[in-house]
Amino acid sequence: MTTKQALEQIGATLAANDVVLFMKGTPDAPQCGFSAAVTKVLSQLGVPFTPVNVLEDDALRQGIKDHANWPTIPQLYVKGELIGGCDIVREMHKSGELRPLLQDKGVTLSG
């Protein structure tokens, strides 16, 4: 995949899904502790999300960093907006800010 194709795929994925997690690995088999931690938070809240494994393609892995000008992975997006990486997601969950943010954006939680 080229960089242009990666950026187009990222845009299409964000447009088509309310909650997207660009991560290393998959929810069932995360390939880094940070991706595992964000997956765990989303699961605890009952957030339906679309995972994107950036390890499948180098252009995709670099493209998501370029897209948001955010150097690390995982990256959590809600309604196309970057919420943040692992530290931000964990802190928002711990402080109680994450659930209302998701609900305010119209995300239905099952947890």
The mean predicted confidence, pLDDT, of the chain is 96
Residue 24 has pLDDT above 90, yes or no: yes
According to the model, what pLDDT value does residue 17 have? 97
Bridging pattern class, strands 19-23 and 50-53? parallel
**Average pLDDT value for residue range 96-111:** 93
pLDDT digits (tens, 9 = 90+) for 5-23: 999 999 999 999 999 999 9
The CATH code belonging to domain 3-104 is 3.40.30.10
Q: Could you tell me the CA-to-CA distances from 59 to 32, 48, 76, 90 in Å, in that order?
A: 19, 26, 18, 27
**Are the beta carbons of 93 and 45 closer than 8 angstroms?**
yes
pTM for this structure?
0.96
